Chain A
């Protein structure tokens, strides 16, 4: 009796397994998919096409046209291509299309490629500086945030010149989109790269109207790409305001304390030779203070590190005096960086990109409510003091 039940159960299980083996629902053959790994958005530069679209009477009002470039990985990258081609095939395939809204433009790519564009593996979106200057980022990114196929872990970068150039490479086997993503991992070893900004993080910032930074990519004519400083996005207009160069970005990383590693190149006062301080850990506290109507901030920066290199031959790192001197020199250098970038974001760009507003919101919610509407303006007039405290923990394997 019992055996029969067990056997019946097993048989029905087998039958059910067979049912599930017949195939996958909503499956997509990988050969038929065009895997998009990166997307770049630019302002259209061709004036003729602009006039053409504007010339139609009774048509929609003229808009800025956007050129979108999708980077597809080809069969060669995925390792399925034929290897007997004499010229080395490129690992990627860039397809461009121009239009005034994102999705219609993307769909128009169907007219140019045979594969179904598949966004699930999209890693990076690069927005050209011109486009970011003229159009609200919220509008540009709306499709990418709304689309279900797009992953919110996609990274966002700003290209100082044309964004489509950053997706080009001279080396045939290199996929520029992957390269860009890998390059953002360098954040752990230098203060000149921002922590990766994913769509998720940007979404909230766009909505709350806070200013923020995006990593800036510069492409040169010979197909090289380089991370160079950061792009400042103004919270109110959600447009690109300007750029911070590498030095300024370093200073900003010290303010936010978001760096994980990096170097400080300071100069020894006595000899004029460089001493390199390598950051092992970095911490910063932004302390808001409110006295009546006066808001002020104090930044406390703390860091531990080591002497990674020094050219002061006459001194020995084993002596505490010298270490103290090196600490002092590095502190002064960091202070200089911080001062410089504060001046820039407060007085030139007038945008709070370092999160001062957020600290104020947490510490003094009532004050924040009153000032948040015009915060960037208020921020530009707020006094900020800072205190840098570096500790040199060791000096590597040479005590000279």
Chain B
């Protein structure tokens, strides 16, 4: 999200775009949480591994779409994962390219095996959950703590603007 802002044609509209972009998923997630907890109750949510999927599987309105709704949900989910993946992947490749001052192409291809190997690291599903938590925490560190430090450094050094 922050990365795309750097490429905007009209950077002055960045704040608005970012806010809207954050607000829409926020709304969706809040609705999801309310729905899941409302339907399964807190005790039910605690018990199930995939509460949202569980919710989708547990209601059935006989008829056309709402029976077996989870397959539609999974299709959209995979599309969503694809879009987020492409953006972050491109960002990673671009970052490396700029870091090493090389062309982007070798990095785009070079990242594939690396990501594959990293994906193979968690041995079981509990490891995977831990790994996910770790990535989340790392994101907090990288996008909240690090920028502040960098800003401090730049203001101490007295860079321009």
Q: Tell me the bound Cα distance from A152 to B60 in angstroms.
A: 10
Q: Tell me the bound Cα distance from A152 to B40 in angstroms.
A: 11
Stretch from A17-25, A199-207, A245-253 forming part of the interface with B: A199-207
Contacts of A151 in B (CB 8 A): 57-58, 60
Q: In the assembled complex, how far is the CB of residue B35 from the closest CB belonging to chain A, in whole angstroms? A: 13
- Known A-B contacts A153-B59, A203-B48; the reply to A208 vs B54 at CB < 8 A is no
- Known A-B contacts A200-B39, A200-B40; the reply to A207 vs B58 at CB < 8 A is no
Contacts of A199 in B (CB 8 A): 58
Give B45's nearest chain A residue, CB to CB: A204
CB-contacts of B135-149 with A (<8 A): none
Q: In the assembled complex, how far is the CB of residue A186 from the closest CB belonging to chain B, in whole angstroms? A: 16
Q: In the assembled complex, how far is the CB of residue A332 from the closest CB belonging to chain B, in whole angstroms? A: 36
**What is the 8 Å Cβ interface bit string for chain A, positions 163-207, against chain B (1 contact, 0 not)?**
000000000000000000000000000000000001111011101
Q: In the assembled complex, how far is the CB of residue B117 from the closest CB belonging to chain A, in whole angstroms? A: 26
Within 8 Å of chain A (Cβ to Cβ): is B14?
no
Contacts of B41 in A (CB 8 A): 204-205, 208
- Known A-B contacts A200-B39, A200-B40, A208-B41; the reply to A153 vs B60 at CB < 8 A is yes
Q: In the assembled complex, how far is the CB of residue B39 from the closest CB belonging to chain A, in whole angstroms? A: 7
Contacts of A204 in B (CB 8 A): 40-45, 47
Q: In the assembled complex, how far is the CB of residue A205 from the closest CB belonging to chain B, in whole angstroms? A: 7
Contact indicator B57/A207 (Cβ below 8 Å): no
Contacts of B47 in A (CB 8 A): 145, 203-204, 207
Within 8 Å of chain A (Cβ to Cβ): is B74?
no
Q: Tell me the bound Cα distance from A267 to B44 in angstroms.
A: 44
Interface residue range, chain A: 10 to 19
Within 8 Å of chain A (Cβ to Cβ): is B46?
yes
Contact indicator B44/A200 (Cβ below 8 Å): yes
Q: How many chain B residues have a CB neighbour from A under 8 Å? A: 16
Q: In the assembled complex, how far is the CB of residue A303 from the closest CB belonging to chain B, in whole angstroms? A: 25
Contact indicator A207/B43 (Cβ below 8 Å): yes
Give A200's nearest chain B residue, CB to CB: B58
* Partner pick for A200 among B42, B46, B54, CB 8 A cutoff: B54
Q: In the assembled complex, how far is the CB of residue B67 from the closest CB belonging to chain A, in whole angstroms? A: 9
Contacts of B59 in A (CB 8 A): 153
Q: In the assembled complex, how far is the CB of residue B65 from the closest CB belonging to chain A, in whole angstroms? A: 15
Contact indicator A152/B54 (Cβ below 8 Å): yes
Q: In the assembled complex, how far is the CB of residue A119 from the closest CB belonging to chain B, in whole angstroms? A: 13
**What is the 8 Å Cβ interface bit string for chain B, positions 30-70, against chain A (1 contact, 0 not)?**
00000000011111111110000011011110000000000
Give B55's nearest chain A residue, CB to CB: A200
Contact indicator A152/B43 (Cβ below 8 Å): no
Contacts of A152 in B (CB 8 A): 54, 57-58
Contact indicator B58/A198 (Cβ below 8 Å): yes
Contacts of A201 in B (CB 8 A): 44
Q: In the assembled complex, how far is the CB of residue A125 from the closest CB belonging to chain B, in whole angstroms? A: 14
Q: Tell me the bound Cα distance from A198 to B44 in angstroms.
A: 12
Q: Tell me the bound Cα distance from A120 to B11 in angstroms.
A: 52
Q: In the assembled complex, how far is the CB of residue B126 from the closest CB belonging to chain A, in whole angstroms? A: 16
CB-contacts of A184-235 with B (<8 A): 198-201, 203-205, 207-208
Contacts of B40 in A (CB 8 A): 200, 203-204
Contacts of B48 in A (CB 8 A): 145, 203
* Partner pick for B43 among A153, A198, A205, CB 8 A cutoff: A205
Q: Tell me the bound Cα distance from A208 to B39 in angstroms.
A: 15
- Known A-B contacts A153-B59, A153-B60, A200-B39; the reply to A207 vs B54 at CB < 8 A is no
Contacts of B57 in A (CB 8 A): 151-153
Contact indicator A207/B60 (Cβ below 8 Å): no
Q: Tell me the bound Cα distance from A204 to B44 in angstroms.
A: 4
Q: In the assembled complex, how far is the CB of residue A212 from the closest CB belonging to chain B, in whole angstroms? A: 12
Give B44's nearest chain A residue, CB to CB: A204
CB-contacts of A32-81 with B (<8 A): none
Contacts of B55 in A (CB 8 A): 200
Q: Tell me the bound Cα distance from A200 to B41 in angstroms.
A: 9
Q: Tell me the bound Cα distance from A207 to B43 in angstroms.
A: 6
Q: In the assembled complex, how far is the CB of residue B109 from the closest CB belonging to chain A, in whole angstroms? A: 21
Contacts of A208 in B (CB 8 A): 41-43
Give B39's nearest chain A residue, CB to CB: A200
Contacts of A153 in B (CB 8 A): 57-60
Q: In the assembled complex, how far is the CB of residue A132 from the closest CB belonging to chain B, in whole angstroms? A: 20
Give B48's nearest chain A residue, CB to CB: A203
Q: Tell me the bound Cα distance from A204 to B45 in angstroms.
A: 7
Contacts of A207 in B (CB 8 A): 43-44, 46-47
What are 18 A-B pairs at a CB distance below 8 A? A151-B57, A151-B60, A152-B57, A152-B58, A153-B58, A153-B59, A199-B58, A200-B44, A201-B44, A203-B44, A203-B47, A203-B48, A204-B42, A204-B45, A204-B47, A205-B41, A207-B46, A208-B43
List residues of chain A with CB under 8 Å of any chain B CB: 145, 151-153, 198-201, 203-205, 207-208
- Which 10 residue pairs across A and B have the least CB separation, nearest first? A204-B44, A208-B43, A200-B58, A204-B41, A152-B58, A207-B43, A204-B43, A153-B60, A203-B44, A207-B47
